[in-house]
Structure 1
Amino acid sequence: MSQLNKAIIFAAGLGSRMGPYTKGLPKTLLAVGNQTIFDRIILGLDNIGISDIVVVTGYAGSTLQSHALSCSKNLVEHDLNFEFVTNDNLEIGNIYSFWLARDKMNEDFILFNSDVVFDFGVLALLKNNQNPSALLIDDCKPLGIEEMKVKTRDGQVIKEIRKELDPSEADGEYIGIMKISRDVAAKVTKKAEQLLSQHKYPLYYEDAFDLVAKEEDCFFACSTNGLSWTEIDTIDDMNYARNIILPQIETLV
């Protein structure tokens, strides 16, 4: 794995399940404690030395772009280099954000969903993982219907990644953060193109990863080792992040 210098953050979604909280505001700009979700991601990336950041925006994209350039840049001592890609077709699903960002995948990078709050330690685990392409997996928590689940071979090689997996047969939940090599990203891009050509929406970028994983042993599981994290999709998730997760990680920010 070459030195990681780039991250791509998918932040185009409507956040419709957050009700009035996201009226005119990207979900990633909601505050958890004294920082927005987005700024926590930026601080985490700075913590592992990443300064080149591509953000795929969509809903209220200009608000997020302004925040990144005026506020997020001032959070860290190092220079941050932001690039922005606009997704104007949100009904397609986040696979389209992956497709639109394909030209930015000219080196190995970390991919982020923009609604994850996490212990910075998970990024160190991911960066130090010896495999070129690895997904952060929570292999401790109980699984249900909504989670993006993975199935592995021998607990290491990821062979399936789908919400539809039977929770009793899955080996963990993908938390929405991974590192991916340039070569593997190119393979995923080809699968994304095939899926998009079928015009069956919505589609997740994980759908393309699933197709590649079934054909090749190129994705590996990187356990969170029980470190705290949560994905924020609903108001209940936000309350959980603020009341349960934040006290566990607040000393990090």
Structure 2
Amino acid sequence: MGKNRIDDDIMIGVILSAGMGTRLMPLTKDIPKPLLVINEKTILERMIENCMNAGINDFILVVGYNRQKVYDTASELEERLDISIKIIDNEEYDVTNTSVSTYLASSYIEKESPDDFILINGDNVVDSRIITRIASTDKTSLVVDNFKKLNEESFKVMLQNLKVNDDETIANGTISEIGKDIDIPSSFGEFIGISKVIKKDIARFNELLTEFIDDNKQNYYDFVYKPLSNEIAIDYVLTNGLKWTEIDDHTDWKLANQLVEEFEN
């Protein structure tokens, strides 16, 4: 770990940065999505700064596509921002999906230093308050957009047995379904690709990940939260109108640029 600061009672930011970003070609011809630049700053640096605002200074990046460029950028960010970055290679990035990348990071955390961690898709541009909100929860949690109009590409969640808290979270809800193929009217909202796993839940989280990977290496880690929600209490942090986007294609890229302008102004 870059500056060897992973120790007790900290929170780790895990940023998945291994994907090829084929739908963003030619923007991603030579660099991975997290290194795309908006207003002279990479998506990766923006997310790291969001995490730092929430008190996170230790990071794990899972890399694959054009990994050396992430290594070079991480080294510069470590020095300039005074943070610690551990990089883990997904050697099978081109034939696996986020379940494998997530397991590489979460199993490392379980073995080396079981700490709470926030799991973030590396192509997210978000209002920094979203990160602050989920960092402050004391349970394993998912960020769910309860405002955005859903479509067929939305990674939707169906929840049951909900308990509403006073702090903009929903507690103890079990996930009856999660994925893109869910009926829109039945969906509670969209999982935005940001979640938190607390230390006491990491072992079970990893066991379930292993089962999903054994079934299909192309599985998304997101699906693990469905069986996990039947075993442990999961909180749901609502966006309540705070803006974000995941950058999958050129339409998303245009929106991300607009959001950055809005955030910075």
- Provide the TM-score with structure 1 as the length reference: 0.90
**Segments ≥4 residues shifted beyond 3 Å:** none
Residue 194, structure 1, aligned to residue 199, structure 2: no
What is the letter of the counterpart of residue 177 of structure 1?
Answer: I
Deviations 1:103-146 (A, max 9, x none): 224111111110000111111211223x4111111100111111
- Listed as ranges, the gaps of 5+ residues in structure 2 are 1-7, 165-169
* Cα separation, 2, equivalents of 1:227 and 1:158: 24
1:57 touches 1:87 (CA, 8 Å); kept in 2?
yes
Secondary structure of the corresponding residue to residue 202 of structure 1? coil
1:9 touches 1:112 (CA, 8 Å); kept in 2?
yes
86, 89, 98: which one pairs with 1:86? 89
Offset, 1:62: 1.1
What is the letter of the counterpart of residue 113 of structure 1?
Answer: N
Residue 123, structure 1, aligned to residue 120, structure 2: no
User: What's the counterpart of residue 140 of structure 1?
Assistant: 147
User: What's the counterpart of residue 247 of structure 2?
Assistant: 232
Deviations 1:81-112 (A, max 9, x none): 11011001121211001121112241111111
Question: Equivalent pairs: percent with the same residue?
Answer: 29
Offset, 1:3: 5.2
2:100 touches 2:217 (CA, 8 Å); kept in 1?
no
Offset, 1:195: 1.9
Residue 208, structure 1, aligned to residue 224, structure 2: yes
What is the letter of the counterpart of residue 108 of structure 2?
Answer: D
User: What's the counterpart of residue 112 of structure 1?
Assistant: 120
Residue 241, structure 1, aligned to residue 221, structure 2: no
Deviations 1:134-167 (A, max 9, x none): 1111100111111111122236324143222212
Offset, 1:248: 2.1
1:162 touches 1:210 (CA, 8 Å); kept in 2?
no
What is the letter of the counterpart of residue 194 of structure 1?
Answer: E
User: What's the counterpart of residue 167 of structure 1?
Assistant: 184
Offset, 1:247: 2.7
Matches within 5 A, 1:36-55: 36-55=42-61
Offset, 1:228: 1.3
Range that drifts further, 201-210 or 34-43: 201-210
Please provide the CA RMSD for this pair.
Answer: 1.7
2:51 touches 2:132 (CA, 8 Å); kept in 1?
no
Offset, 1:230: 0.7
Shift in alpha-carbon separation, 1:75–1:164, aligned structure 2, 3 A = farther
* Cα separation, 1, equivalents of 2:66 and 2:174: 35
What is the letter of the counterpart of residue 220 of structure 2?
Answer: Y
